[in-house]
Structure 1
Amino acid sequence: MIQKDVIIIGGGAAGFFAAINIAEKNPDLKVAILERGKEGLTKVKVSGGGRCNVTHAEFIPSELIQNYPRGQKELRGPFHQFMTGDTIEWFEKRGVPLKIEEDGRMFPVSNSSQTIIDCFLSEADQHGVEVLYNHSVKAIENQGGIFQIETSQCQFLSKKVLIATGSNPKIWQLLENLGHTVSAPVPSLFTFNIEDERLKNIPGVVAQDVEVNVLNSNLCSEGPLLITHWGLSAPSILKLSAFGALEFAKRDYKFQIEINFIKQSFEDSFNTLKVRKQDLAKKTVFKSTQFDLPKRLWHKLVLASSIKEETRWADLNKEQLESLSGQLTQAIFNVNGKSTFKEEFVTAGGVNLKEVNFKTFESKYIKNLYFAGEVLNIDAVTGGFNFQNAWTGAYIAAQNISK
C-alpha cells in the first residue's frame, strides 16, 4: 500500500496543471499522478493540429462563458479567479510565450504542442511530482476520510484526490458508485455529413460569413463555413454541434439546416439581382460571381437555380431570379450523420454540476474529492475554450488542495 498526500487521477492537461500548482504552493505534500496510458498529455499533443490551442484571447468573464454550452453559469465565478490573462502569465513565467492568431486562438510562439508538454514534464519533475504511467484505476473507496485507490499495478492511500480523467466512462462509473450522478455522454464537436449536388466536388471551398439555422429548433449560428468531402465544417457548424449536442443526439443526427450564404434577406438579394440583370445584361450569370461568394460555390448555386451556364443576365425570368435568391438566402440541406472534428473529440456529459462547489471544485458529497476538466459536465466550442476550463478548474482545485 503506497501512501501519498494527494493523488491525481488522469495525466492530461488538467491533471498535470493541478499537480504542478499543488506541489509548487506546498512543497511538503507528496503528489502523484496516475495515468492509465504509457504516456500522458496525449490530447495536448494533438490539439490544434499539433500546435496546441492553449486558450482563447477573450478577457471578459461574461463574454468567455458564452462559449460553453454546458457550464456557462458555473464558470462565471471561477473565471473571475483564474482565466485567460492568468493562463498567459503562467506559461510566460515558465518560458513559454503565447501568441494570438487572427481568429483569437492562442498558441505557443514555438507553434509546437511539444513546448507545452516539455514545460509540464519539467515543472512536474522540478517540483517532485511523481508521474506513474500504465496505472489504470480499478476502484476508488472512501474509508473514513481516507481514499483507497486500486490500480492495475498496486494500491494507494491518500487524504485528497483530484479526478481529471476527461470523458472516461469507467471513472464515471466509479464516481456513480461513490454517490455522484453522471449525465450520459454524447459527442459535442463534430462536422455534418451531407450528400448534396450543391456541395459535390468543391471540397475546401470556404464561405467567409454565413448564417445557419437548424429547422424546427432555436439553434442558429454565424461564421465561416467549410465545404468538405463529406459535408460541412468550420466554426459556424462546430458551434452548432456543441450547442445542439443533446438535441442532435435525440434526432439521431438526422435533421435539416437552412443556410443564408450572404446574410441578407430574400427581398434584398432579389432586388440586388434585379439591378444586376440590368447592369450585367450581356454577361453570363454563371461567370459573374456576386456577393463576394467563392466562385465554385456561386457556380453550384446558379446551376441549382435552374439557370444554365450560357444564360445571360438579360434573359433571366422572375422565377429564376427568385430561385437564385432562395439558394443564396434560404438553402435547405439534409444532414444525415456526423464525423469527428479532427482529433478534437469532445463530449457533452459528465459529473452533474449541481454536485460540485465551484468556489473550490470540490465534491459537495465527499470531502477532499475534487474535479477538473472534462470529467465534469462542461464542454465548449472549438478554439481553446476546453483547455481554459481545464486550467481554471485545475488551478482553483490546486489552491484548495494545497492548503
Structure 2
Amino acid sequence: MNTYNIIIIGGGAAGFFAAINIAEQNPNLKIAILERGKEGLQKVKISGGGRCNVTHAEFTPSELVQNYPRGEKELLGPFHQFMTGDTVEWFENRGVALKTEEDGRMFPVSNTSQSIIDCFLNEAEKHQINVLYNHSVQSIKNKNNNWQLASNQGEFYAEKLLIATGSNPKIWKLLEDLNHTVVQPVPSLFTFNINDKRIKNIPGVVAKDIEVKVVDSNLESSGPLLITHVGMSAPSILKLSAFGALELAKRHYKFSIEINFIKQSFEEALDHLKTLKQELNKKTIFKFSPFDLPKRLWQQLVLASGITEATTWADLNKNQLESLASQLTKAVFNVDGKSTFKEEFVTAGGIDLKEINFKTFESKLHKNLYFAGEILNIDAITGGFNFQNAWTGAYIAAKSMSK
C-alpha cells in the first residue's frame, strides 16, 4: 500500500511548484507526484521556444487579470497573495535569475527552459518528494475525506489531493464522476489560416501595430501582426483567438476579420492620400510606403487597390484613392481554419470556477481536494500569463495543504 500525506496528480509546472512549496512549509509531510509520462515538465521544456516564458512583467493585480479571458474575476484575490514579483523572487532565491524582454515577457537569464526544469528536479530531490513517472491514474475515490487512487502501477492513499494535470480529458472525466462540472474545452491560442492573394507571397512580414476585429462580433484586438506561410499570427491575432475562443469555435473557425493597418479612420486615410497626391505627384506609388508599413505589405495593398506598379501619385483617380484608403483601414480577410501556435497548446475549458474556493484553491464539493493550473477553466493570452496562473494557484493550494 502506497500511503502519503499529499498526492499531486500531474508532474508539470503547477505540480512541482506546489510540491516544493508544501515541503518547504511542512517538511514532515510525505509527498508524491504521479506523472503519467516517462518524464515530466514537458510544457515547461517547449514554452517560449525552449526558453520558458516564466511570467510577465506586470506587477499590478488589476492590470494582470485583464490578460485572462477566463479567470479574470477569480484571479484578482489570488494575485494579491502571490503574483509576478513573488514568482521572480521565488526563482531567484533558488538560483534562477530572470530577465525582462522589451515586450514584457520574462525568461531565465540562461535563455533555456532547462534552468527551470533543473531547479524543480533539484528542489524535489532535496525535499525528498517522491516523483513517480509512468503512473497513469485510472480512478479517484473519496473515502471518509481521504483519497484512494488507482493507477496502472498500483493503489495510492492520501489525506489530501492536488490535481494539476492541465487540459486532460481523462482526468476531467474522473472529476465529473465526483460531481464536478467540466466546461468543455476548445482551443484558445491559435493562429488564423488565410488563403489570400495579398499575403500569399510575403510570409515573414511584420506590421508593428494594427487593429483587427472579427466581422459581425464585438471581438477586437491590436498589436503586432505577422504574415505566415499559412495566414496570420503574432500578439494581435493570438489575443483575438484567446478572447474569442468560444465564439470562434461556434463558427467552426470560418469567419472574416477586418484589419486597420494604419490605425486611422477611412476618412483620415483618404485625406492623407489626397495630400500625398499633391506633394508626391511625380513619384510612383508602388516604390515606397508613406505610412509606417513594411514595403512588401504596402505594395500588395497598392496592387489590391487596382493600382499598377508604374502609376504615379498624380495619376491616381478618385476610385483608386478610395480603394487604397479602404485597403489600409478596413481590409477584409476570410479565415478558414486555425493552426496551433508554435508547440504551445492552450485550451479554454476545465473545472467550473464556481466550484472552487479561490482563497485556498480547494474544491467546494470535496474537502481536501485542490486544483492548480489549466485543469481549471482559466486561460490567458500568450506572454507568460498561463504560467503565472499555475504558480499562483499552486502556491496558494500548497499553503493551505501544508497546514
Return the TM-score normalized by structure 1: 1.00
Equivalent position of 1:212 in the other structure: 212
Equivalent position of 1:303 in the other structure: 303
Q: Which amino acid aligns with 1:249?
A: A
How far apart, in 1, do the equivalents of 2:331 and 2:325 lie? 9
Equivalent position of 1:223 in the other structure: 223
User: Is residue 2:54 matched to residue 1:54?
Assistant: yes
Displacement after TM superposition at 1:290 (Å): 1.7
Equivalent position of 2:182 in the other structure: 182
Equivalent position of 1:364 in the other structure: 364
Residue 343 of structure 1: SS of its match in structure 2? coil
**Contact 1:290/1:298 (8 A) holds in 2:** no
Give aligned pairs, total: 403
How far apart, in 1, do the equivalents of 2:46 and 2:125 lie? 23
- Listed as ranges, the matches of 1:74-89 within 5 Å are 74-89=74-89
User: Is residue 2:323 matched to residue 1:323?
Assistant: yes
Residue 86 of structure 2: SS of its match in structure 1? helix
How far apart, in 2, do the equivalents of 1:87 and 1:121 lie? 17
Equivalent position of 1:350 in the other structure: 350
Equivalent position of 1:172 in the other structure: 172
How far apart, in 2, do the equivalents of 1:200 and 1:192 lie? 13
Equivalent position of 1:130 in the other structure: 130
Q: Which amino acid aligns with 1:87?
A: T
Displacement after TM superposition at 1:10 (Å): 0.1
How far apart, in 2, do the equivalents of 1:122 and 1:106 lie? 22
Equivalent position of 1:4 in the other structure: 4
- Listed as ranges, the matches of 1:80-99 within 5 Å are 80-99=80-99
Summarize deviations over 1:320-362 as a string: whole Å, max 9, x none.
Answer: 0000000000000100000000011000000000000000000
Residue 302 of structure 2: SS of its match in structure 1? helix
Residue 89 of structure 2: SS of its match in structure 1? helix
Equivalent position of 1:42 in the other structure: 42
Residue 284 of structure 1: SS of its match in structure 2? coil
Displacement after TM superposition at 1:105 (Å): 0.1
**Contact 1:56/1:104 (8 A) holds in 2:** yes
Displacement after TM superposition at 1:261 (Å): 0.2
Equivalent position of 1:105 in the other structure: 105
User: Is residue 2:11 matched to residue 1:14?
Assistant: no
Summarize deviations over 1:38-96 as a string: whole Å, max 9, x none.
Answer: 00000000000000000000000000000000000000000000000000000000010
Equivalent position of 1:382 in the other structure: 382
Equivalent position of 1:249 in the other structure: 249
Residue 161 of structure 2: SS of its match in structure 1? strand
Equivalent position of 1:238 in the other structure: 238
User: Is residue 2:270 matched to residue 1:270?
Assistant: yes
Summarize deviations over 1:291-344 as a string: whole Å, max 9, x none.
Answer: 110000000000000000000100000110000000000000100000000011
Displacement after TM superposition at 1:119 (Å): 0.2
Displacement after TM superposition at 1:289 (Å): 1.1
- Structure 2's unaligned 5+ residue stretches are none
Summarize deviations over 1:103-140 as a string: whole Å, max 9, x none.
Answer: 00000000000000000000011011110000000000
Q: Which amino acid aligns with 1:100?
A: T
Residue 224 of structure 2: SS of its match in structure 1? strand
Displacement after TM superposition at 1:288 (Å): 2.4
Residue 158 of structure 2: SS of its match in structure 1? strand
**Contact 1:192/1:335 (8 A) holds in 2:** yes
Equivalent position of 1:70 in the other structure: 70
Runs of 4+ in structure 1 over 6 Å off: none
How far apart, in 2, do the equivalents of 1:290 and 1:230 lie? 28
Q: Which amino acid aligns with 1:134?
A: N
Q: Which amino acid aligns with 1:372?
A: A
Residue 23 of structure 2: SS of its match in structure 1? helix
Equivalent position of 1:161 in the other structure: 161
Q: Which amino acid aligns with 2:7?
A: I
- Structure 1's unaligned 5+ residue stretches are none
